[in-house]
Structure 1
Amino acid sequence: MASLLLPIIYLAFISLGLPDALLGAAWPSMYTQMGADLSWAGIVSMIISACTIVSSLASARLNTALGTGKVTAYSVLLTAVALLGFSFSGRFWQLCLWAIPYGLGAGSVDAALNNYVSLHYESRHMSWLHCMWGVGASIGPIIMGRALAGGAWQGGYRTIAVLQFALTLVLFLSLRMWKRPEQTLDGADFTPQQRSIPELLRLPGVRQVVTCFFCYCALEATAGMWAASYCTVVRGIDAETAASWASLFYLGITVGRGVCGFLTMKINDQNMIRLGQTLIALGLVLILLPAGNNVLFAGLITVGLGCAPVYPCIIHETPANFGRELSMSMTGLQMACAYVGSCLMPPLFGLLGQHISMALYPWYMAVMLVLMFIMAESLHRKTAARRRDLIL
C-alpha cells in the first residue's frame, strides 16, 4: 500500500510547485490590467507567505484531527479554488483576496506531507519529493508562457487550477491508503503531542533548527531572486542571458535533489547537510572569483547543487532529533520559520543592493551560510546528547 501511495505523494508535491512561479511569470502582463504598479506583486507575495506561515503553525492540530490524507486533499482543493479565483480577477484587491486561501492551502500541505514522508519513508524519498517540487516549479512557467503567447495570462492560471482539481480527486480516492498520523515507518504506534511555540522553543536544539531553516530559506530565496540582477549590474551580462543563467540555480537544486536521493542510501542526513553546505561555500567562492563568466556560470549551478540536500535532510531527521511524538508540531514550526526567512531576507538584500551595492550578493549569502553551519552543528550536538540521555 505504501508503494502505491508514494507516486500520489510525488504528484502532490509537483502540484505544490506548479503555482509557485506563476505570479512572477505573468505579472508583467497582469499589473496594467489590474490597475496596479509593477512593485505591487510583492504585496500579493507577502499575503501568500503570511497565510502560509499561519497554516504551517496550525498544521499539527489539523493533522491530528483529520489525518495527513484529508489535510493534503483539502489543502490542494483550497489551492485549486484560489488559482481559479486568480484567473477571474480583474482588480488588484481581488488578487489579494484569493492569495489568502492559496497561502493557507500551500502551508498545510507542505508541512503535512513533509512530516508524513519523514515518518513513513527513507531519506531518499524526501530528496526525491523535493525534486518533484522543482519539477512542478519548472513546468508552471512553461504553462504560463504558452498562455501568454496566446494573449491571455488567465489561461495559465486556469490550466494549473484544472490540474489541481484533478489531483484533488485522486487524493480523495486514495484516502484509505494513508496511514494514521501515529504510525511510523516500522509500523510502531505512538501518541502525537501538541505543544505551544514557547514550549517547543525551550526544548534542546529547537532554537538551533529553526534558525537553520530561517537561514537556509533566506539564502535559497535570495540566490534565486537576485541572481539575474547581480549578473547584469555587477558582471555586465545582458539581461536576457542573465535571466537564463538565474534559472541555473533552480536547475541545480532540482537535479541535485534527484542525485541526493541515491547518495542518502550511503550517507546519513547529518553528513548530507554538511556536504550541501560545503558545495554552497564552493559555489560562493566561484561567484566571487574575478575569473570570467564561465566561472560565474559554474558558481550559480554549484550553489544550487549545494542547496539540494540541506532542506530535505533537515526535515527528514526531525523525528530522530525531537521524537516521533513531536515531529508534526516541529515540522510546522520549522516550515513557518522557513517561510519567514524566504519572505523577509530577499527584500532586505534588495534594499542593501540598491543603497550600497549589488556586489554584496555572494557576501550576504555567505553570512547566512556561516550562521546556518554553526546552528546545524550545535543542533546535532544537542540532539545527540538528548538521545544519549534517553538511552541512559
Structure 2
Amino acid sequence: MATVFLSIIYITFISLGLPDSLLGVGWPEMYRDLAVPQSYAGLVSMTISFGTITSSFFSGKLIRKFGTGKLTAVSVLGTATALLGFYLAPAFGWVLVAAVPLGLGAGAVDAALNEYVAENYQAHHMNWLHSFWGIGALTSPLIMSQVLSQDRSWRVGYLVVAVIQFILAIVLLMTLPMWRGKEQKKTAEQQERALTLSFLIKMKKVRLALYAFFLYIGVEATMGLWSSSYLINVKGIDSSKAAIAVSGFFGFIMFGRLISGFVSMLLTNRQLIRIGQILIVSGALLLILAKSYPLLLLGICLIGFGCAPIYPAMLHETPERFGQAIAQQIMGIQMAIAYTGSVVLPPLFGFLAPKLGMEVLPIFLIGYGSVMYVASELLNKKLDAEGQLNER
C-alpha cells in the first residue's frame, strides 16, 4: 500500500506538469480561432501565474484546514474543470475565466505535495517528484501536436488533458482514506501556529531563503524564454539548432533531477544546492567564451543540469530550516515568491536587452547564480549559528 500511495503522489505531479506546456504549443491555432492578437497569450499566462501565486501564499492555511489529501483532490478537480473550460470557451474572455481556477489549482497542488513530501520522505523522492513533473511538461506538447497533426481543433488537446485530470481527481477522491492515514498528526501548537507574512519576512533566514527561490526561478525562466534568441542573434546559430539547445536545457533539468535523486543518497541538500549553483555560473561563463555550437550546447546543458537539484533540495530543506510548526506556511510563501520570479525576471531582461544588448544574457545568469549562492551560504551560516546556540 505504501508503494501505491507514493505512486499516486508521483502520478499527481505528472498531471501537474501536463497543463503547463499546452498553451505555448496550442496558441498559434488558438489565437486565430478566438480572433485575438497573438500577444494575448501573455494575458492568459499572467492570469494563470497570478492564480498560482495567490493559492501558493494561502496554501499553508488551506492545508491546515482541509488536509493535504482533500486539498490536492479538490485542486486537481478544479484544474480538470478549468481545462474543460478551455475546451468549451466560446470566446477569449471565457479562456481568461478558465485560466483563474487553472492557476489556483496548480499552485495549491504544487505547494501541498511539496510540503508533504518534504516532511514525510527523503530527499531522493523530492528530486524524482520534480523529474516526474518534467514528464508531464514534455508529454502535453506531444498530445497537442498529435491532435493538430490530424487537423483537429486545439480544443481536443485540452479535452484530452482534461479527461486525464478528471480520472486522476476521481482516483484521489477514492484514496482519501489513505491520505488521512498517512498525514502526520500535528500537535495543537503546530495546528494553531500561523504567523503573519509581515512577521515571517522580518526573519532574516526567511528573507535569505526567499531571495534564493526568486533568483533560482529567474535563472530557469529567463533561460527558457531568452536562450534561443541569444544563440540566434548573438552566436549566429540557426533556429533549428537553437531549438534543440533549448530542449536540451529542459531535458537536462528533468534528467538531472532523476540523477540527483540517486546522488542525494550520498550528498546533503546543501551540497547539491551548492554544486548546482556552481554549475549554473560555469555554464553561463561557457556561453560567453564558446565559439562553436557543441560548446554552446554544453554550456546550456550545464546550466540545465545545475538547475536540476536546486529547487527540489531547497524545498526539501524547508522543515529542517524553519521547523515543522511553520513549514507548511513557509513552503507556500517560498513557492509564491518563486512563481513571482518567473513572472518578473524574464520580462525584466526583455525590457533591458534592447538597451544593453542580447549578449548580456550570460552576465545576468552569472549575477543571478552568484547572488543566489551568497544568499544560500549566508542562510547556512545563520542556521549553523542557531544550531550551536540551541546546543548550548
Shift of 1:242: 1.5
Q: Deviations over 1:287-317 (max 9, x none)?
A: 1113311100111111100000000000001
Shift of 1:167: 0.6
Counterpart position of 2:388: 388
2: CA distance between counterparts of 1:266 and 1:189? 36
Residues 37 and 289 of structure 1, relative CA distance in 2, 3 Å threshold = same
Q: Specify the code of the residue in structure 1 equivalent to 2:190.
A: T
Letter of the 1:155 partner, please give it. V
Deviation of 1:38 after TM superposition, in Å, equals: 1.4
Query: Structure 1: which amino acid aligns with 2:336?
Result: A
CA positional deviation for 1:135:
0.8
Map 1:268-287 to 2 at 5 A.
268-287=268-287
Contact 1:227 1:246 in 2 (8 A): yes
2:116 aligns with 116
Q: Give 1:188 shift.
A: 9.1
1:386 deviates by 2.2
Counterpart contact for 2:111–2:332, Cα < 8 Å = yes
Equivalent position SS for 1:195: coil
Moved more, 102-111 or 195-204: 195-204
- The question of whether the paired residues in 2 share the 8 Å contact of 1:124 and 1:260 is answered with yes
The farther-off stretch of 64-73 and 357-366 is 357-366
Q: Deviations over 1:7-53 (max 9, x none)?
A: 10000110010110110111111112212111111111111111111
CA distance in 2, matches of 1:181, 1:39: 46
2:353 and 2:360 in contact (8 A); partners too: yes
Q: Tell me if the contact between 1:215 and 1:369 (Cα under 8 Å) persists in the aligned partners.
A: yes
Q: Using the TM superposition, give the Cα deviation of residue 367 of structure 1 relative to its aligned residue in structure 2, in angstroms.
A: 1.1
Identify if the C-alpha distance between structure 1 residues 354 and 149 changes in structure 2 by more than 3 Å, giving closer, same or farther.
farther
* Farther-moved stretch of structure 1 (60-69 vs 90-99): 90-99
* Matching residue of 1:183: 184
Q: Which amino acid aligns with 1:137?
A: A
Checking the alignment, whether the CA contact within 8 Å between 1:213 and 1:338 is kept in structure 2 is yes
Match of 1:132 in 2: 132
Residue matched to 2:155 = 154
Which residue in 1 is equivalent to 2:69? 69
Q: Deviations over 1:90-134 (max 9, x none)?
A: 322111111100010011010000000000000000000000011
* Alignment deviations for residues 269-304 of structure 1 (CA, whole Å, 9 cap, x no partner): 001100111111121122111331110011111110
Amino acid corresponding to residue 68 of structure 2 in structure 1:
T
Q: Which residue of 2 aligns with 1:173?
A: 174
TM-score normalised per structure 2:
0.96
Partners of 1:310 and 1:342 in 2: how far apart? 15
Q: Indicate the larger mover: 382-391 or 302-311.
A: 382-391
Listed one character per residue, the Cα deviations across residues 180-238 of structure 1 (whole Å, up to 9, x for unaligned) are 79728xx9997242111111112240000011100000110001111211111112222
The alpha carbon displacement at 1:354 in A equals 3.1
User: CA–CA distance in 1 between the matches of 2:181 and 2:316?
Assistant: 18
Q: Quick one: distance in 1 between partners of 2:177 and 2:204?
A: 36
1:86 maps to a residue whose letter is: F
Which residue does 2:209 correspond to in 1?
209
Corresponding letter in the other structure for 1:44: V
Following TM superposition, by how much is the alpha carbon of 1:148 offset from its aligned partner in structure 2, in angstroms?
1.2
Query: Which letter does structure 1 place at the counterpart of 2:308?
Result: A
Q: How far, CA to CA, are the matches of 1:104 and 1:341 in structure 2?
A: 17
Q: Which amino acid aligns with 1:50?
A: F
The residue identity in structure 2 corresponding to 1:240 is: S
Q: Is 1:344 aligned to 2:344, yes or no? A: yes
Cα distance between partner residues in 2 of 1:36 and 1:380: 49
Letter in 2 for 1:171: L
The residue aligned with 1:99 is 99
Q: Give the gaps of 5 or more residues in structure 2.
A: none
Provide the secondary structure at the position in 2 that maps to 1:325: coil
Give the counterpart letter for 1:47 in structure 2: T
Which segments of structure 1 move beyond 4 Å, counting only runs of 4 or more? 179-182, 187-190
The letter of the residue matching 1:324 is Q
- In the alignment, is the contact (CA less than 8 A) between 1:18 and 1:136 conserved in 2? yes
Aligned 8 A contact 2:285 2:366 in 1: no
Conserved in 1, the CA contact under 8 Å of 2:10 and 2:132? yes
Opposite residue 49 of structure 1, the aligned amino acid is: S
The amino acid of 1:340's aligned partner reads: T
Q: Is the 8 A contact 1:147 1:154 kept in 2?
A: no
Checking the alignment, whether the CA contact within 8 Å between 2:60 and 2:332 is kept in structure 1 is: yes
Count of residue pairs the alignment pairs up = 390
- Partners of 2:79 and 2:279 in 1: how far apart? 35
Does the aligned pair in 2 maintain the 1:318–1:331 contact within 8 Å? Answer: yes
| Contact 1:16 1:106 survives alignment (8 Å) | yes
Equivalence for 1:196: 196
CA distance in 2, matches of 1:296, 1:262: 28
**How far is 1:355 from its partner?**
3.5
8 A Cα contact 1:75 1:108, kept in partner:
yes
Counterpart Cα distance in 2 of 1:179 and 1:342: 34
Which amino acid in structure 1 is aligned with residue 319 of structure 2? P
What is the CA–CA distance in structure 2 between the aligned matches of 1:117 and 1:103, rounded to whole Å? 21
Give the match's secondary structure for 1:20: helix
Which deviates more from structure 2 when the two are superposed, residues 172-181 or residues 160-169?
172-181
Q: Given that residues 67 and 180 in structure 1 are in contact (C-alpha distance below 8 angstroms), is that contact kept between their aligned partners in structure 2?
A: no
TM-score after normalising by structure 1: 0.96
Describe the shift of the 1:90–1:238 C-alpha distance in structure 2 as closer, same or farther (beyond 3 A): farther
Letter in 1 for 2:73: A
Contact (CA 8 Å) 2:30, 2:154: kept in 1 or not? yes
CA distance in 2 between partners of 1:334 and 1:179 (Å): 25
Which moved further from structure 2: 88-97 or 42-51? Answer: 88-97
Stretch deviating more after TM superposition (28-37 or 249-258): 28-37
Give SS of 1:183's match.
Answer: coil
1:79-98 to 2 correspondence within 5 Å?
A: 79-98=79-98
Distance 2:181 2:231 in 1: 49
Q: Tell me the distance in 1 between the aligned counterparts of 2:290 and 2:251.
A: 24
The one-letter code matched in structure 1 to 2:210 is V
1:90 to 1:40, Cα distance in 2 relative to 1, 3 A: same
